[in-house]
Structure 1
Amino acid sequence: MTWYKETGWLFLFIILLLSISGCASALSWQSFPDSIENERSVYVINHGWHAGLILPYESLVGLPHIEETLGYSQYYEFGWGDADFYQAEKITSGVPLKAILWPTDSVLQVVSVLTYPHAHFPHSEMVEVRLSRQGLGRLVDYISASFYRDLDSQFVVLGRGIYKNSHFFKATGGYQLTNNCNTWVAEALERSGVPVSSFLTLTSDGVMQQTKNAVLEYECCMR
């Protein structure tokens, strides 16, 4: 088989995966807050190609390294992705192709969100998700486990991030087509009890649509 036929089959496979990504089965919330007063809000943000998670400062008491590195902020955004692609000053064709073909190293970008998330990112699609305390705890545990730690259990800071108030950290897990930045967000929500499936959720639109559906179900049950 010639190289262009092999490449053609590869891109056909990618298109097939993208066409079905974000199609969750019938899922239900795993845990609701016992009252509206005990709701804890987090935000799912769509940056176009990739989604991220925004959490309030007070939920991150178990992650003191974040404040030590970036300083105090009302909120922090977390995004996980391919180390080379995420940190590249200039994107070449080889960078995304490598991330598609085999697992690559990953990084977490943490951004200081100095004000209310909608005001900080006025042009980005965003969905507020209300979690129980237990659900928020599981979400924070998932994010915490995504940070690589050295022999002294310290986070490994790699340098400045894309935004002014952001840093890259070395992360755990290998990035690949079926385990990408959007899959990471979907799995984080899934772990926290939100009816979102990470299986073949490859696009930010897939994450956002599932999240919106989950919020509609939540509003129906809690209100």
Structure 2
Amino acid sequence: MRLSAYMRLLLLGCLLILTGCAMAPSRSSVPAAEAGHTIHLMRYGWHTALLFDGNDILSRSERLRTDLRPAPYILVGWGDGEYFVRDDAPWSKAVKALVASDYPAMQAGRRDSNPPAGVAAQDSLPLAITSRGMDQLVAYIDRSIALDGKGQPVYLGAQPDHPDRFYQGNGHYSLFNNCNSWIVGALRAAELPISGINLTASSVFEQAQQISALQQQMRTERTAQAGAAP
């Protein structure tokens, strides 16, 4: 499938326009800074993913615990089944993914540091969530893995040598249901107040920054109150 440069620009323009209107989160809607668990939102240019404490997610997901050895961190993301899995995918695959994706893919991989390689420090954003939010988030991730007739996941890509696991995902990837909107669903499952239609990494990250900043403010206030107590 070949698209003209004009069509490529048109598709990207639509993606930038359709970001929706976001409302600033209220204090009452944001989990407390000491909610018990912290996840990190990763931004890789136009793509977003989630970074977990390794034990937090592996202790809750039997599927990932079976496929991944223990690690300090586990990175999880979602994307088009052809473009996302290939390290050297051509631009044409990215364009095809927006208009004629065959199936989605979910990525899960071990990481040794936060931020992991390829992510700038300012693009790793901490978000505190509750234990219930963590349980719901991991359940959302597990539901995103497609199973075959025997109840086993469908693996994609070169599994033995690749540091990540790629699974065929549930759902349908498109311009209007992309990696960033999947992340929005994940954050909402974690009971974080992400509002509006969010199709770009910037729109997701900007809302998450407001939540993270509010949690930091709440943490600072609580510390000041504790210090002022007789």
Percent sequence identity is 23
Describe how 1:186-205 pairs up with structure 2 within 5 A.
Answer: 186-197=184-195, 199=197, 201-205=198-202
Matched, 1:68 2:66: yes
Contact 1:50 1:204 in 2 (8 A): yes
Q: Choose the corresponding residue for 2:154, options 150, 156, 159.
A: 156
Q: 1:63-106 CA deviation, whole Å, 9 max, x = no partner?
A: 22223222111221001000111123543343222222245300
Contact 1:22 1:209 (C-alpha < 8 Å) held by counterparts: no
Q: Which residue of 1 aligns with 2:225?
A: none
Q: Which residue of 1 aligns with 2:31?
A: 32
TM-score (norm 1): 0.81
**Partner residue in 2 for 1:85:** 83
Would the alpha carbon gap of residues 129 and 89 (structure 1) be closer, same or farther in structure 2, given more than 3 Å must change?
A: closer
Q: Secondary structure at the match of 1:85?
A: coil
Whole-angstrom CA distance in 2 between matches of 1:164 and 1:122: 19
Matched residue SS, 2:65: helix
Deviations 1:5-53 (CA, angstroms, capped at 9, x unpaired)? xx968854752441352641244464635x82x4201011111120100
Match of 1:134, SS state, is helix
Larger mean CA deviation between 60-69 and 129-138 belongs to: 60-69
AA aligned opposite 1:47: Y
Higher mean displacement: 170-179 or 88-97 = 88-97
Give the number of aligned pairs. 214
2:157 is paired with a residue whose SS is strand
Please give the TM-score of this superposition, normalised by the length of structure 2.
Answer: 0.79
TM-aligned CA deviation for residue 221 of structure 1? 3.7
Correspondent of 2:49 among 44, 49, 52: 52
Residues 152 and 164 of structure 1: CA distance in aligned 2, closer, same or farther (over 3 Å): closer
Counterpart CA distance in 2 for 1:26 and 1:122 is 26
Query: SS where residue 212 of structure 2 aligns?
Result: helix
Distance 1:166 1:198 in 2: 31
Where in structure 1 do 4 or more consecutive aligned residues deviate above 6 Å?
none
Q: Which runs of 5+ in 2 are unaligned?
A: 223-230
Q: Does the CA contact (< 8 Å) of 2:15 and 2:175 recur in 1?
A: no
Instruction: Name which of 137, 141, 145 aligns with 1:143.
Output: 141
Aligned CA distance change for structure 1 residues 130 and 97 (closer, same or farther; 3 Å): same
Correspondence 1:213 to 2:230? no
Residues 82 and 93, structure 2, Cα contact 8 Å, conserved in 1: yes
State the Cα RMSD in Å: 2.9
Alpha-carbon distance between aligned partners in 1 of 2:119 and 2:101, rounded to the nearest angstrom: 34
Residues 110-147 of structure 1: CA distance to partner in whole angstroms, max 9, x if unpaired?
11013x42365563510011111111111111111111
